[in-house]
């Protein structure tokens, strides 16, 4: 089995565009986080008890009695936040530099599958400590399915294993929270395979043409990724050691009470933009449909954005509309954490409208009417000229090879 | 189709006589197709039959289905007060309404409601004081506020769901917000003037 030669081919000599910026670190950072989550998760599951009477206390026991239990628990809970931070930046990079465009559609769609699996996994993991936010988050999210006509109620009863969120629900969420990360590992493998078939995109959004445009992955990008990983660990350590509960919600330190809903129930921060979309619609099925649609629409993005120019660097109008979309995403996240009252509902409605208008109206129109800036001839000519590397040999730029 | 062609030489080489249909030539391929279809459908049915126990095991188990009913003593509840009792893992609101609250609930034109229902249809005849509803918001299942005297009771004086801002009136009917229907009324009956049994 040619394992060594495969690693040498895919990670050693693998030709990679020479002009990556630090946005290209976040895929590696997500892989590192996945490894941390699985390692801490498996160890935590050795101490956790998935029973409604014992779950909360078993987590407190991990915090107090288990050796380094506090570290493992805080690393796991803040690791989830770090996972979403790096994944959101990873996705933003994809959107800005057009990495979802042909020939990388499959790579992008596998990424969206990973994102949805991540959300499901994080949701079920958050239920396990069986605090107030766990319980009511579980109630609200599983109830989303009851909006479906005809079969909705049956699906909810099936998910719950009863008539409310209770012990059977906790048990199965524990089981699925253990299972799903390994599905994520599998899909990540496919994600990387798809990436290595097309090769990476780069900040210019043009394909490498000659050997001058690429460098071997190792040692150039292994070292660059390592720099990113060190910075990432600094941020992670600050979160875990100095502000371990900053991103959490204090109400989850109250044991679950099925008779009292906390006055300000909010999901984890990384769900807030989608939660805002759900609440923006004054209709149950409509809200659920739009929230699901906000994710499903991502699958169609490569076909909604018909512009042949990948990188927003060369798209003078789309660039600003996309940056506005980015701001809008943060605004949605902000209103998602606010109470469901005016003016927040109106802001959420405007934000939701722009979220969808960008994908459904603006991108298709821009593909027709936007005049892109001139693209550089090749990665090498653009990068080396800027760095003062001197003129290139005439042959390399005058007639770029079609295949290289 | 490949098998069909491959089988042809094996069938009778002599040409059929006039008015005579060669049974092998006509039936051979059909029989093979039938076998394929039969085997395929057998495998499909088998897969479904084997999948069902996996799926059905997640439906409510026997101990969950064995539900007890809940009895509520109404004597300690003063006018304008409410109690919450647990039934099927969910809260049930039992409220003793004031005459003013009943008056408010009755004065609403039914056509104005999202889920039209008269106040009379939501209580037992002769027991208009007692409103018994499932304390589960019909939107996404939170417990609406309004049971404690200090709670915000929303713009219609009934209940207010903090999760997504649904307002219910003094008959538990949905008036504003994303919830699609009125608070559900559980199956209950008066066993005496001061006791009810839920379930």
pLDDT of A390: 52
CA-CA-CA-CA torsion sign (B72, B76, B77, B79): positive
Mean pLDDT across B128-153: 84
- Could you give phi then psi for residue B158, rounded to 5 degrees? -105, -95
**A277-286 pLDDT per residue, tens:** 988 887 778 8
Mean pLDDT across A360-365: 95
Q: CB under 8 Å to A233, separation ≥6 — which residues?
A: none
Beta carbons of B143 and A261 less than 8 Å apart: yes
pLDDT of B19: 47
pLDDT of B139: 83
Model confidence at A402: pLDDT above 60: no
> Nearest-CA neighbor of A48 among A134, A136, A163, A143?
A134
Catalytic residue status for A226: no
pLDDT of B26: 56
The H or E element that residue B5 is part of is: helix B2-7
Tell me how close the Cα of A200 comes to any Cα of chain B, in angstroms: 41
Model confidence at B196: pLDDT above 90: no
pLDDT of B2: 47
A128 touches chain B (CB under 8 A): no
Beta carbons of B165 and A340 less than 8 Å apart: yes
pLDDT of B27: 58
Reported ipTM? 0.79
Query: Least CB-CB distance to A282: which of B141, B161, B178?
Result: B178
CA gap A111, A171 in Å, rounded = 29
Model confidence at B4: pLDDT above 60: no
Quick one: pLDDT band at residue A61, thresholds 50, 70, 90? Answer: very high
CA gap A256, B143 in Å, rounded = 13
CA gap B158, B173 in Å, rounded = 8
Query: Least CB-CB distance to A166: which of B89, B145, B165?
Result: B89
Q: Please work out, in degrees rounded to the nearest 5, the angle formed at the alpha carbon of residue A13 by the alpha carbons of A9 and A14.
A: 75
Q: Please work out, in degrees rounded to the nearest 5, the angle formed at the alpha carbon of residue A187 by the alpha carbons of A185 and A193.
A: 105
CA gap A54, A37 in Å, rounded = 23
**A8-59 pLDDT per residue, tens:** 888 888 899 999 999 999 999 999 999 999 999 999 999 999 999 999 999 9
CA gap A138, A321 in Å, rounded = 36
B148 touches chain A (CB under 8 A): no
**A232-276 pLDDT per residue, tens:** 999 999 999 999 999 999 999 999 998 888 877 788 999 999 999
pLDDT of B75: 85
The H or E element that residue B166 is part of is: strand B166-169
Quick one: pLDDT band at residue A395, thresholds 50, 70, 90? Answer: very low
pLDDT of A398: 44
Tell me how close the Cα of A169 comes to any Cα of chain B, in angstroms: 9
A144 touches chain B (CB under 8 A): yes
Percentage above 70 pLDDT, chain B: 85
Query: pTM score > 0.80 for this model?
Result: yes
Beta carbons of A140 and B163 less than 8 Å apart: yes
Asked whether B69 and B188 are in contact (CB, 8 A), the reply is no
- Could you give phi then psi for residue A50, rounded to 5 degrees? -90, 70
> Nearest-CA neighbor of A203 among A87, A315, A98, A317?
A98
Length of chain A in terms of residues written: 404
* Active site (catalytic) residues of B: 164
Residues facing B161 on adjacent strands: B166
**B87-110 pLDDT per residue, tens:** 888 889 998 888 888 888 888 888
Residues facing A16 on adjacent strands: A215
């Amino acid at each position: 089995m040619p394992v060594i030669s495969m690693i040498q081919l895919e990670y050693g000599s693998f030709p990679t565009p020479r002009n990556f910026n630090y946005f290209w670190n976040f895929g590696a950072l997500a892989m590192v986080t996945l490894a941390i989550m699985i390692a801490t998760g498996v160890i935590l599951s050795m101490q956790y008890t998935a029973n409604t009477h014992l779950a909360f206390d078993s987590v407190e026991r991990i915090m107090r009695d288990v050796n380094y239990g506090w570290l493992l628990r805080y690393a796991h809970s803040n690791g989830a936040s770090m996972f979403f931070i790096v994944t959101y930046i990873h996705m933003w990079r994809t959107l800005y530099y057009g990495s979802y465009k042909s020939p990388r559609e499959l790579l992008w769609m596998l990424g969206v599958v990973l994102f949805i699996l991540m959300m499901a996994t994080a949701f079920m993991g958050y239920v396990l400590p069986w605090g107030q936010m766990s319980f009511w988050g579980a109630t609200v999210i599983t109830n989303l399915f009851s909006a479906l006509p005809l079969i909705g109620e049956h699906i909810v009863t099936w998910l719950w294993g009863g008539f409310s969120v209770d012990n059977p629900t906790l048990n199965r969420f524990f089981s699925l929270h253990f299972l799903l990360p390994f599905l994520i590992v599998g899909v990540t493998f496919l994600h990387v395979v798809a990436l290595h078939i097309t090769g990476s995109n780069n900040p210019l959004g043009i394909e490498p043409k000659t050997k001058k445009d690429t460098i071997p992955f190792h040692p150039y990008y292994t070292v660059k990724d390592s720099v990113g990983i060190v910075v990432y660990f600094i941020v992670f350590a600050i979160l875990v050691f100095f502000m371990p509960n900053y991103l959490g919600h204090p109400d989850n330190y109250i044991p679950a009470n099925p008779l009292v809903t906390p006055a300000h129930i909010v999901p984890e921060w990384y769900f807030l933009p989608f939660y805002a979309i759900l609440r923006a619609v004054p209709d149950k099925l409509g809200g659920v449909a739009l929230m699901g649609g906000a994710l499903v629409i991502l699958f169609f993005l490569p076909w909604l954005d018909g512009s042949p120019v990948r990188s927003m660097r060369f798209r003078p109008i789309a660039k600003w509309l996309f940056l506005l979309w980015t701001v809008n995403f943060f605004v949605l996240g902000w209103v998602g954490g606010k109470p469901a009252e005016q003016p927040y509902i109106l802001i959420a409605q405007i934000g939701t409208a722009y979220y969808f208008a960008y994908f459904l109206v603006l991108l298709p129109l821009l593909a027709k009417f936007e005049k892109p800036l001139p693209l550089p001839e090749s990665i090498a000519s653009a990068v080396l000229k800027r760095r003062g590397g001197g003129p290139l040999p005439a042959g390399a730029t005058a007639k770029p090879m079609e295949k290289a | 189709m490949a098998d069909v062609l491959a089988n042809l030489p094996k069938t009778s080489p002599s040409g059929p006589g006039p008015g005579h249909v060669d049974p092998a030539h006509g039936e051979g391929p059909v029989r093979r197709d039938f076998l394929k279809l039969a085997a395929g459908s057998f495998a499909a049915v088998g897969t479904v039959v084997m999948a069902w126990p996996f799926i059905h095991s997640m439906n409510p188990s026997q101990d969950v289905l064995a539900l007890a009913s809940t009895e509520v003593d109404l004597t300690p509840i003063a006018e304008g007060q409410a109690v919450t009792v647990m039934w099927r893992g969910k809260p049930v609101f039992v409220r003793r309404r004031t005459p003013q609250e009943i008056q408010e609930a009755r004065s609403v034109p039914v056509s104005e409601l999202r889920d039209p229902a008269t106040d009379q249809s939501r209580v037992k005849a002769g027991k208009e004081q007692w409103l018994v509803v499932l304390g589960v918001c019909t939107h996404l299942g939170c417990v609406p506020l309004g049971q404690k005297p200090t709670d915000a009771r929303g713009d219609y004086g009934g209940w207010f769901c903090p999760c997504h801002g649904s307002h219910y009136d003094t008959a538990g009917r949905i008036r504003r917000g994303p919830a699609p229907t009125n608070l559900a009324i559980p199956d209950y009956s008066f066993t005496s003037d001061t006791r009810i049994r839920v379930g």
